[in-house]
Structure formats: C-alpha cells, structure tokens
Amino acid sequence: MSGGATFLGMPAFPVNAAAAVQDSQLRYNLRKATHTIRGKRALAVGELPDWTELRRAAKEIKDHTLRNLERYLVRMEEAVTAAGGHVHWAADAEEANRIVADLVKATGETSVVKVKSMATQEIGLNEALELEGITAYETDLAELIVQLGDDWPSHILVPAIHRNRSEIREIFREKMADWGRAAPEDLTDEPRALAEAARLHLRERFLSTRVAISGANFMIAETGTLVVLESEGNGRMCLTLPETLISVVGIEKLLPSWQDLEVFLQLLPRSSTGERMNPYTSTWTGAAEGQEFHLVLLDNGRTDVLADEIGRQALRCIRCSACLNVCPVYERAGGHAYGSVYPGPIGAILTPQLRGTASELDASLPYASTLCGACFDACPVAIDIPEVLVHLRGRVRHPRVERLGMRAAGWVFNRPARLARTQRLGGRLRRFVPGRLPGPLSAWTDTRDIPDIPSESFRDWWDRTDGGVK
C-alpha cells in the first residue's frame, strides 16, 4: 500500500521523469489540476493586503522555534502531560512504528482509522502495522483512492491528483468490496457520486473503529494544543469518535504560542487549496472529552536537517504544496518521479536531507529543478528552495559526462584566444553538427534542440565591420 517503504530502490529522477512525461493522460491530469489550483490560490492570496507581513512573521516564528526547539519541545511535553495526554519520543521510523504498534496492541484492537498524515507515510506506518496484524484504513478520499488502487501518493495535498474521475470509478468498482462496503452497482464517474460512494464505504468504519491515528499541522508548546486542518470531515471523525487517539508529529511542527496560530491559519488554507479557510479545523489539548491521547514526537532525520545552516530552512515547511503547483518540472514529471512522500520542489530539498544522498535517487533530487525560483515566490514561509538546491548540488557529484563537459568548457573559456579559435572552428564545421548527440550526450539532445551555430562570432563580426560601421 501507500507508504515510504514502497519507494525504496527506485531509479534516479531523470529515469522516472522520462517515463512520466511519455504518459499523456498523466500530463493532462496534472496540468489541469495544477493550473486550476494556481488560479484559485492567486485570488485567495491577493485578497489579503498584509500577505507580505504574514509571510515574514511566519518565517520568523518558524526560525525562532527551530532555534529554540529544545526548550519548546520540553514545554510541549509538559503541557500535554498536564492535560492528561501521554508523550513518546521516537528517534527514527522504526522506533515510531514500534511505539504506535504497541499502543494499538494494548487496546486489543486489530484495526485503526487514519487521518491523512505525511509523517506516518514517511515512516511507512501502514506497512509496519500490517506486519503486526493491524489493518490501517485511510479515510481521506484521495488517500482512499491511493490505498484501494495499491498506488503511491503523488501530491502533498491532493495525493490522487494523477487520477481522473473515470480511473477513480474503476478503482472503486474493482477494489472497494475487498476493503469493506462495496461500491454501488450503478456508480457513475460524477464526482458527487464518487464522493457519496466513499461516504457510505467509510461511515460504517468510523462508527465502529475504536483507535485512530493522525498527524498534526501544528502543535503549540505554550498550551499543548494540536491542530488539524482538513476539508472532508474524515479528520473530525477520526479525532472525535474513537476511544484512543495516537498522533505522530514531526518535531518541526511546533509553534511557540497560541497567538502564532493567527498567522498560520491565514497562510495555510490560502496557499494550499486557495480557500479563505478550509472547511474544518480541529484543535484539542491533551485528553479531550475523555479520550485516551498519545503524542509521538518524531525526529527521523529532522535533527540532521537542523544541523545544516542553509538546509535547515526546509524545516519551516507547512506542507501547503504551493511549490508543487507552480513548478514546471513537477507539472510534467508528476509526483511519483521524486520517489518520496515529499514530491515537488520541497521534496527535492527535504528528501535528500532526511534520507541522505547515498542512493542514486536521492543524489539526483537536487538536480530535479530548473532553478526558476517560482517555488520560492509561492512559499508562504519563504523557504529559498533554489538556494538549498544549489547548496545540496555541492554535496553530490555531477554526472561524469557533465563534469567532463564542464572541465572542457572551463579550459576553452579561460583564454580568449582559445574561445575565438573554438568559435571559428564551430562556425566552419556547423554543417556537420548532428541533430542528436551520440552516446551519453544523447540524454541532453533527446529532450532539447541544439541551437543553431552562427557562421561568425560576435567578436569577429565586430572586428570585421569595425563595430558595425563598415
């Protein structure tokens, strides 16, 4: 099923992307979705006269929190405990999964309902629970589509963005019965009918499941409060109805004070779905309304990211996905090519920092960008993604052909006389330059045209015509 583990062993980004761009259905689905959401976001953001000031405050609140993370995490722990909750610390994915599995087993239950959560996907929680005989049911509509389709999420906010309505209908008809209530016989591909099928399928489960697992968008150190933003109400179902609630939250999701929420509740909905506010936001502090509450604080590589002076700004991310929707590379390659639960520009800087760059895929991610900077402009917490990409490129070696090419170019550019001779040679031989380069260089020309080589360089033209006078 969906999860971090399924991404292991994937080839490098260029290989995945090359396959994805051949899929015209995928390109169509993505283009339509990203352009729609881009337009909505621009309207919602344009409505706020103080967007720049909110963005600055958000960046500073996050940086301040990261600088003082130790103090605020301890404060969070105290506040949650004082409100009747239990706090657990998980250094890595394995430990987090072990803690959650043990907590579920202690309840005697063998199934749990889940609120969409990036953190639990990152640690492969569903797969880990399955090995312990516990079934985790995703309840977000898009996550349900992904889970039933035995697929991977491809977008932070709209995990099934790569699927269109007729594909979703097929998945529901073929798979719903295996997981619970079957899809209606006469199911059409109308979004309303599909949503209704999901409502019926999941409602039985909400009413009968006694353990829920969530993440959180924010947690507030001052008060010990957790905050979940959502649209469908599946989050409220999971957060409210079960007797036991387990929340797995990355340590960077912290905000110092209750007041800080006023900044992020304005930035997040407008940046992510392009709405003034998302339909539902739930907040709870400790054991609310008699529920048993466990908070699992997750590191899993975050402290490594924190240790990098340039890279640590990635921890400001509030998972709004605005950077995905404006990225020309994401729009064509799709989310799966990034081989991580964090796709798009933010994934290209977050994944290689969280996982390291030992694998071919992770080493290729800092190159999965044109450095156009649209992501930086869109980011509500002002993460300078291009800066981090360039910083990370310094850490992983460029491909051999590229290094040789750059060395040759350096040799030519270093002496004006060499450059002039090379240009004259190029001009004379221009008829013999092929449209497609041979060997490993073909990777470049497969997706690009070689520019026409002029018969004469600008300098030669300047000399010959005496600056255009003759």
Partner 1 sequence: MNAAGSRERILSRIRSAVAGAGEVEITRAYRTSPDPAAAAGLVGLLAERVADYRAVVHVVDEGEAAATIAAALARRGATRLVAPDGLPPEWAPGEPVTDDPPLSAAELDRVDGVVTGCAVAIAETGTIVLDTGPGQGRRALTLLPDYHLCVVRAEQIVAGVPEAVGRLDPSRPLTWISGPSATSDIELNRVEGVHGPRTLEVVVIR
Is residue 184 part of the contact set for partner 1 (CB under 8 A)?
no
* The only residue of 12, 17, 54, 187 in contact with partner 1, by rule CB under 8 A: 54
192 interacts with partner 1 by CB under 8 A: yes
Q: Rule CB under 8 A: is residue 57 a binding residue for partner 1?
A: yes
Binder to partner 1 among 26, 61, 383, 392 (CB under 8 A)? 61
CB 58, min distance to partner 1, A: 9
**Per-residue contact flags (x/-) with partner 1 for residues 120 to 159, judged by CB under 8 A:** -------------------xxxx--x------------x-
- Buried b / exposed e along 195-232 (16+ C-beta atoms within 10 A): eebbeebbeebbeebebbbbbbbbbbbebbbbbbbbeb
* The one segment of 174-182, 301-309, 438-446, 457-465 that binds partner 1 by CB under 8 A: 301-309
Per CB under 8 A, the list member of 176, 221, 245, 306 interacting with partner 1 is: 306
The residue within the footprint of partner 1, chosen from 27, 60, 173, 175 (CB under 8 A), is 60
User: Measured from the CB of residue 78, what is the shortest distance to partner 1 in angstroms?
Assistant: 13
179 binds partner 1 (CB under 8 A): no
The verdict on 275 binding partner 1 (CB under 8 A) reads: yes
**Contact string 230-269 vs partner 1 (x = CB under 8 A):** -xxxx-xx-xxx---------x------xx-xxx-xx---
- Shorter beta-carbon distance to partner 1: residue 201 or 336: 201
Nearer to partner 1, 282 or 351 (CB): 282
Instruction: Report the nearest approach of partner 1 to the CB of residue 111 (Å).
Output: 16
Q: Is 271 in the site for partner 1 (CB under 8 A)?
A: no
According to CB under 8 A, which one of 207, 410, 431, 451 is a site residue for partner 1?
A: 207
Question: With contact defined as beta carbons under 8 Å apart, do 378 and 358 qualify?
Answer: no
Of 11, 81, 111, 165, the one binding partner 1 (CB under 8 A) is 165
CB nearer partner 1, residue 10 or residue 232: 232
Q: Which of residues 87-126 bind partner 1 (CB under 8 A)?
A: 88-91, 95, 99
